[in-house]
Amino acid sequence: MQKVIDLCLDLPQSEDQVIDELKTYTLRRGEKGVSNYRNIFGPEKASNVGLTLEDLDKMADQMSPEDFDRELRKRARKITTTIPDFIKEMDDNGVNWGMTRVNTNEQTAAVVKLYPQRFMGIAIANPHKGMKAVRELEQAVKELGLKGFFASPYNYGLRLNDKKFYPLYAKAAELNIPVFCYSTMTYRNDFPMDIAHPLCLDEVAMDFPELTIIAGWGGGGGWPWVSEMVGVARRHQNVYINFSAHRPKYLGTPGSGWEMLIQFGNTLLQDRVVYASGWSNYFSYSKGVIHKVIEEVMSLPLKDAVKEKWLYKNAARLFQRE
């Protein structure tokens, strides 16, 4: 069995998380910044609980809030699982451990504390908070035991080379933890489409050559700017690429835009592509989801030795943890 390390290992959603997501797509359907996500991801999320978006809208409009919540909870219960059962599925598919992130640093640390051999946590810190954010990041690493920092234009409306991120990058370098960077287009139509353009990482990598940068956690290999993402990684040895939040099978589909990642990831960059599923962006949990995503990677037009690097060896070397 192929050994795997997943650097964007989403945990199964709780009932409350399933319900909150469905309510967002329904009760906030007219909001700018939500409507596009509803159109793209909403139909599949609704179908996972046996409904259409139209069904959800009708229920929300005709039922009392209490009855709507009760009906969603009944349906959500059927597609949730426990973390121990999820870990069993990890075992069945060779996943040694994964990087994960929950809503707050404290919640992430609580999961890691329960299962320290299976998960490592990624910290969040709001760059708009200045030095308070820097102190929060230091606390998350030194006191809570988290092992990475997530820099997200999607959450804060800042480009990755915005100087508000720089004190956090400096602290991450000092703490010797990697920075995971959301580096792809955003469907939020209240932000510019290119707010997370991977070219922004060129300046960051120039200014922080000692910082390990993992372009991912929703990154999709920089799509649709895959060539620029590849170019940045070729220029900077401290930049790694993952393709989380996009189904791996599309990387090998002609015309999908990932051709350059496959070409260079199979050759010059084979040591700097790391597996990160982000499976919850395109699947709701059901037994077999881990196997399905890994099998799609195994089916890519890559050399066998490169598949092993992508799925396991590169991350094991990067984190010095097998």
The residues with which 144 forms a beta bridge, in sequence order, are: none
pLDDT at 246 over 90: no
pLDDT tens string 105-147: 999 999 999 999 999 999 999 999 999 999 999 999 999 999 9
Q: How confident is the model at residue 265 (pLDDT cuts 50, 70, 90)?
A: very high
Of residues 55 and 189, the one with the higher pLDDT is 55
pLDDT tens string 18-49: 999 999 999 999 887 788 889 888 898 899 89
State whether the Cα torsion 28-31-34-36 is positive or negative.
Answer: positive
pLDDT value at residue 79: 86
CB 273 within 8 A of CB 314: yes
- What DSSP assignment string belongs to 237-268? TTEEE--TTS-GGGGGSTTSS-HHHHHHHTTT
pLDDT at 208 over 80: yes
- Cα–Cα dist 194/321, whole Å: 34
Q: Which residues contact 2 (CB under 8 A, 6 or more apart)?
A: 94, 294, 298, 307, 308, 311, 312
Percent of the chain with pLDDT over 70: 100
Q: What is the mean pLDDT of residues 163-179?
A: 98
pLDDT at 188 over 90: no
pLDDT tens string 266-302: 999 999 999 999 998 878 777 899 999 999 999 999 9
* C-beta neighbour count of 259 within 10 angstroms: 15
What's the half-sphere exposure (Cβ side, CA atoms, 13 Å) at 250? 13
pLDDT value at residue 282: 78
Q: What is the mean pLDDT of residues 205-218?
A: 92
pLDDT value at residue 45: 87
Beta strands in the chain (DSSP E): 4-6, 95-100, 119-123, 148-151, 179-181, 213-215, 239-241
Strand, coil or helix: what is 95? strand
The residues with which 181 forms a beta bridge, in sequence order, are: 151, 215
- Cα–Cα dist 88/83, whole Å: 9
Say which DSSP state 138 is in.
Answer: H
Tokens of 216: 């991912």
pLDDT value at residue 217: 74
Tokens of 190: 């209240």
Domains annotated on the chain, with CATH? 4-12+81-319 (3.20.20.140), 15-79 (no CATH)
pLDDT at 219 over 80: no
CB 14 within 8 A of CB 63: no
pLDDT value at residue 169: 98
pTM: 0.93
Q: Which of 42-46, 154-158, 205-209, 231-235 has the lowest mean pLDDT?
A: 42-46
> Both ends of the chain: CA-CA distance in Å?
15
CB 95 within 8 A of CB 5: yes
Average per-residue pLDDT for the chain: 94
* C-beta neighbour count of 215 within 10 angstroms: 30
Q: Which residues contact 16 (CB under 8 A, 6 or more apart)?
A: none
Q: What is the mean pLDDT of residues 161-176?
A: 98
- Cα–Cα dist 61/272, whole Å: 49
pLDDT value at residue 218: 72
Tokens of 55: 């069904």
Q: Which of 40-49, 158-167, 259-268 has the lowest mean pLDDT?
A: 40-49
Can the peptide bond before residue 224 be classed as cis, meaning omega within 30 degrees of 0? Answer: yes
Of residues 222 and 286, the one with the higher pLDDT is 222
pLDDT tens string 84-112: 999 999 999 999 999 999 989 999 999 99
CB 236 within 8 A of CB 181: no
pLDDT value at residue 128: 98
- Cα–Cα dist 152/118, whole Å: 25
- Cα–Cα dist 232/184, whole Å: 13
- What DSSP assignment string belongs to 202-243? HHHHHH-TTS-EEE-SS-GGGTT-HHHHHHHHHH-TTEEE--
